[in-house]
Amino acid sequence: MREGILQQKIERDELLKKQYIPREGIVAARASMNDPLIKVITGPRRSGKSVFAIQLLEGINFGYLNFDDERLLGERDYERFIKSIREVYGDTKYLLFDEIQNLAGWELFVNRLHRRGLNLVLTGSNSRLLSRELATHLTGRYIPFQILPFSFREFLKAKEFSSENNLLTHEDQGLLLNSLDEYMRTGGYPEVVVKGIEARSYLGTLFEGILFRDVVKRYNVRYSKKLHDLGLYLITNHAKEFTYTSLKKALAFRSTHTVENYADYLMEAFVIFAVQRFSAKIKEQMKSPQKAYAYDTGFVNAVKFKLTPDTGRLMENLVAVELLRRGKEIYYFRTREGKEVDFAVKEGLNIEQLLQVCYEVEDLQTRKREISGLIRAAKETGCNKLAILTWDYESQEDSDPPIEFQPVWKWLLKQGK
């Protein structure tokens, strides 16, 4: 036990020496360190949760346990963890537990430590497992943070690309579009962006590792090949509608129940997230097809079946992740005439904004289709804030209500807007 924790202290000290790209939200998050509530950091594997925790604890002496280390997982007397932490780190009130979901019964252990007055930071790569246990055992006693791969703003910082002064020159805008193309192809996973690791092989290996470690082993999945096929299928068909029945038929599953379980596992492990079709009737909304998106467009390019690019759908996936990062409640919308709007952003009981994503709108038929879908959806939802995000086209459509055409790079740079 002690030897393992000593080795992890060396790893912690090495992490503390490194320079990192400041993650968005870190300044506000640091202010929470004076709060006794437990800090819970969730997100995909390798997206930067541990680094965010390190940045959160900057300047504080803290104990560190990484539960991805199998040497710690065989321990049944969790009080020995605290004894060894005191032996290695001394009398610190701050503890960082990495990948906490790997520790059986962790929530009871954490709850006990919290009652003793310890200031705890937890990271985890399983969204629903953590949320269920937090809701059951730590209700009202924790602050959640979600860390995703780098945003485009963070990507530009890592590449030391200045995007200030509204990029007034055409030359700067051209360079920015080149960076956006790279970001969309290779994604925002920190090791790919900062270390220049080849994205396809790195993310392909990460995909396989997540399936095996975070899904197959955790849930004792019997048909691992079927799980793998489902993951590939949903990522390949990102931004397209699916139902569990259609997935069952396409992949020859024996039951829709198994498909639904496997899809839930993929969502829990942050492989994909689903967006529902909006309806004012909850029952109708639950029965409607969903759309799957990957948490990173580089992930899509690394693992999808086909190699042919589909820039429009990649852009849509990029926008979906950014809306998620901004904490928006999002749906897609289909009008009574069958016209689709990519995103309906809901605030409270109302649709706050309708968004279309279209790579090019120079073609008059395409432009007309995107506009008519938005106008019809606006009438059905009562929403008057309409926008079409394009690759690099900017204009205003004098319709009722008016529609703003905005380059997606400008929209991505407007943090939280």
Q: What is the pLDDT along the chain (417 residues), one digit of tens a residue?
A: 788 899 999 999 999 999 999 999 999 999 999 899 999 999 999 999 999 999 999 999 999 999 999 889 888 899 999 999 999 999 999 999 999 999 998 989 999 999 999 999 999 998 876 677 777 777 778 999 999 999 999 999 999 987 665 556 888 889 999 999 999 999 999 999 999 999 999 999 999 999 999 999 989 999 999 999 999 999 999 999 999 999 999 999 999 999 999 999 999 999 999 999 999 888 888 889 999 999 999 999 999 876 667 899 999 999 999 999 999 999 999 999 999 999 999 999 999 999 999 999 989 999 999 999 999 999 999 999 999 999 999 999 999 999 999 999 999 998 754
Distance from chain centroid for Cα 130:
15
Question: Which strands sit side by side in the sheet containing 241-242, from one edge to the other?
Answer: 241-242, 290-294, 272-276
**pLDDT confidence of residue 153:** 96
User: For tokens 């963890």, what's the residue?
Assistant: 81
SS3 401: coil
pLDDT for the residue 135: 73
Neighbours of 91 (CB within 10 A): 6
DSSP, collapsed to helix, strand or coil, labels residue 293 as strand
Question: What gap in Å lies between CA 240 and CA 242, rounded to an integer?
Answer: 7
Per-position b or e across 157-191, b if 16+ CB within 10 A of its CB: beeeeebeeebeeeebbeebbebbeebbbbbbbbb
Q: Which amino acid is at 153?
A: R
Say which residue the tokens 């060396």 belong to.
10
pLDDT score at 150: 98
Give the Cα-Cα-Cα angle 163, 164, 166 (nearest 5 degrees). Answer: 90
Per DSSP, the three-state class of 397 is strand
Strand partners of residue 241: 291
Q: Is the dihedral of CA 151, 232, 275, 260 positive or negative?
A: negative
Partners of 123 in the beta sheet? 41
Which is it for the CA torsion 377, 383, 389, 394, positive or negative?
positive
Please give the pLDDT value at position 310: 87
Give φ, ψ of 358 to 5 degrees. Answer: -145, 120
Strands 386-390 and 350-357: parallel
Note if the bond before 401 is cis, omega within 30 degrees: yes
Which pTM value belongs to this model? 0.94
Task: Give alpha helix (H) positions in 159-223.
Answer: 170-186, 190-195, 199-209, 217-219
Taking alpha carbons only, the member of 151, 232, 203 closest to residue 46 is 203
Four-residue CA torsion sign, 57, 323, 131, 243: negative
Q: What is the H or E stretch that residue 407 is in?
A: strand 403-407
61: closest CA among 29, 93, 39?
93
